[in-house]
Amino acid sequence: MHIIRNDVTNNRCYVTLSGVISYNEAEEIKEKIIKETEMLKPGFDIINNISKYIQGDESGASILQEIVNHLIDKKVNRIIRVVGTSKTGLIQFAKFTPQDKNLNIHYFPTMEDAAKFLENN
């Protein structure tokens, strides 16, 4: 399951992933992220809640890379990942995110911790 929405006022895109993500769902997620980030200004933040994410189809790793490349092209400021206790999610996302010096990625255990960080930085 996934929920993707933007917050134009705060220049943010919220991406919540839970359960098991198939290749086809990953494609759908990519299209929604592209659509939602088109409405944001350069310097936007992505808040990615994967605390209830179980795993994704590893064949979808290329889709994650396409999403991250899109975010870099759109001039994402920060990628905030809320991981909770989802070690599988943390490992998959860290493993398949392209290493780029322009990426500013932060990991938090809860949405509350992520919100505090965003308020203070």
2-113 is a CATH 3.40.50.410 domain: no
pLDDT at position 78: 96
pLDDT at position 98: 67
Domains in the chain: boundaries: 2-113
Give me the residues paired with residue 81 across strands. Answer: 48, 107
Q: Judging by beta carbons within 10 Å of its beta carbon (0-12, 13-18, 19+), is residue 54 exposed, middle or buried? A: middle
Full pLDDT tens readout for the chain, 121 residues: 999 999 999 999 999 999 999 999 999 999 999 999 999 999 999 999 999 988 777 777 889 889 999 999 999 999 999 998 877 777 777 776 767 767 899 999 999 999 999 999 8
Query: Nearest CA to 43 among 69, 6, 67, 12?
Result: 12
Query: Nearest CA to 48 among 14, 74, 77?
Result: 14
